Amino acid sequence: MTCAQYPTRLSCGSRVLDLSRPQVMGILNVTPDSFSDGGRFAARDAALRHAARMVEQGAALIDIGGESTRPGARPVSPLEELERVAPVVEAIAAELDVIISLDTSTPAVMREGARLGAGLINDVRSLRRDGALEAAADSGLPVCLMHMLGEPGTMQQDPHYQDVTGEVCDFLERRMADCIAAGIPAERIVLDPGFGFAKTLAHNLSLFKHLEALHRLGRPVLVGVSRKSMIGQALGREIHERLSGGLALAALAVVKGACIVRVHDVAETVDAVRMIAAVQSAE
């Protein structure tokens, strides 16, 4: 399974993402309370340096988030989120040749981020906040829709599914239909099954095992599992001991047809993705 089953070009504002091969998205959290690197890159210059480093390491996209979505995270006002995100988007757009992804559910951040040079809207709430569908449609940018039940603060309180893979697919199919009705064409949609969001370890493992099921929806798939608790629970590892598990899952995601992998550890993941590509392209 490869990304070649989808159109090979995704227009992202002034840049184009090549989906003929899997791409790596680098994570840039400009928050004080992210589960993995909270506060390290909150300042504009530190964020710009880290983004530049990830681009040098091979990231095709930089995903900028100003609101932590870890379990139990506190809500952030639209103004606070905008003040965190906008200067970093503006700086990266001016300095680096990379696609900027906005990790946001907030319409004001979508609109201003698009104006400042972002190329993709990546929303863990699948554009369900009031005004988000309209803001995303008006931006003209592609969107990534992610599966999640409830809100980050409460999502891990006894999530339940009869068929986790089927229910995730059904949810994303409904959100795709809502986007299309709002003026976001299918060719601008990317899908994320939402590992770690309102899912137990058993749910995450089953969903990953059956990841190919999402391809019936006909859109590129993004997978984000970097340093997440599913790795810690499966391997008994603390957050900064999860690289090996994360690389295993990134490689497995690519083999199962994921087009984008969202990670903290860009250099190592790029090597893994390129090695898979070398094998797959051999005679």
**pTM for this model (two decimals):** 0.93
> Lowest-confidence range among 13-22, 146-155, 208-217, 260-269?
146-155
Q: Which domain holds residue 13?
A: 3-280
Give the model confidence (pLDDT) of 157-179 as tens digits.
667 899 999 999 999 999 999 99
Report the pLDDT averaged over residues 104-110: 97
Q: Above pLDDT 70, what percent of the chain?
A: 90
Asked if residues 28 and 265 have their Cβ atoms less than 8 Å apart, the reply is no
- Position 31 scores a pLDDT of 85
- Position 39 scores a pLDDT of 55
Give the model confidence (pLDDT) of 34-58 as tens digits.
545 555 666 888 999 999 999 999 9
> Would you say residue 1 has pLDDT above 60?
no
Catalytic residues: 228, 262
Q: Report the alpha-carbon distance of residue 198 to residue 204 in Å, rounded.
A: 9
CA quadruple 259, 67, 30, 226: dihedral, nearest 10? -40
Residue 178, CA distances (Å) to 61, 71, 120, 129, 183 in order: 26, 27, 18, 13, 9
Which among 127, 147, 158, 265 is positioned nearest to 211, based on CA atoms? 147
Asked if residues 140 and 130 have their Cβ atoms less than 8 Å apart, the reply is no
Domain CATH for 20? 3.20.20.20
Q: Report the alpha-carbon distance of residue 273 to residue 267 in Å, rounded.
A: 10
Count of domains for the chain: 1
Type of residue found at 120: L
